Amino acid sequence: MNKQLFNDHWFFAKFKLGTTLATVKKVATNWNEVDIPHDWLIYDSTNLYETSEGWYKKQFNIEKLAPEDYISLRFDGVYQDTTIYINDSQAWRWKNGYTTFEFDATPHLHEGINEIVVRVIHQSPNSRWYSGAGIYRNIWIKKSSKDHFIADSIYITPIKESGSTWKVEIDSELALNNAATYRVSHTIMSLNGEIITTSEQEVLASSSDSQVLLVSSPRLWDVGAGNLYVMKSQLFRDGQLVDVEANRFGFREVKMSPDGGFVLNGRRIKLFGVCQHHDLGALGAAVNRVALRRQFELLVEMGMNAVRTAHNVPAVEFMELADEMGIIVCSEIFDMWKNPKTTYDYARFFDEWAEGDMAA
Going from N- to C-terminal start, the domains of the chain cover 2-148, 149-249, 254-359
Residue 345's DSSP bridge partners are none
As a whole-number percent, the residues of the chain with pLDDT over 70 amount to 99
pTM for the structure as a whole: 0.96
Confidence of residue 205 (pLDDT cuts 50, 70, 90): low
C-alpha–C-alpha distance, residues 205 and 251, integer Å: 31
Give the mean pLDDT of the chain.
95
pLDDT for residue 28 is more than 80: no
Q: What pLDDT is attached to residue 181?
A: 92
Confidence of residue 196 (pLDDT cuts 50, 70, 90): very high
CA dihedral 90, 91, 95, 97 (to 10 degrees): -120
CATH number of the domain located at residue range(s) 254-359 in this protein: 3.40.50
CATH number of the domain located at residue range(s) 149-249 in this protein: 2.60.40.10
Q: What pLDDT is attached to residue 98?
A: 97
274-306: per-residue pLDDT in tens? Answer: 999 999 999 999 999 999 999 999 999 999 999
Residue 73's DSSP bridge partners are 103, 141
Confidence of residue 17 (pLDDT cuts 50, 70, 90): very high
Q: What share of the chain is helix, strand, coil (3-state, %, to 5)?
A: 15, 45, 40
Q: What pLDDT is attached to residue 42?
A: 96
Query: Same topology for domains 2-148 and 149-249, yes or no?
Result: no
101-149: per-residue pLDDT in tens? Answer: 999 999 999 999 999 999 999 999 999 999 999 999 999 999 999 999 9
Cβ-based burial of 61 (10 A; exposed 0-12, middle 13-18, buried ≥19): exposed
Average pLDDT over residues 252-265: 96
CB 7 within 8 A of CB 140: no
Confidence of residue 1 (pLDDT cuts 50, 70, 90): confident
Q: What pLDDT is attached to residue 179?
A: 80
CATH topology classification for 2-148 = Jelly Rolls (2.60.120)
Q: What pLDDT is attached to residue 85?
A: 98
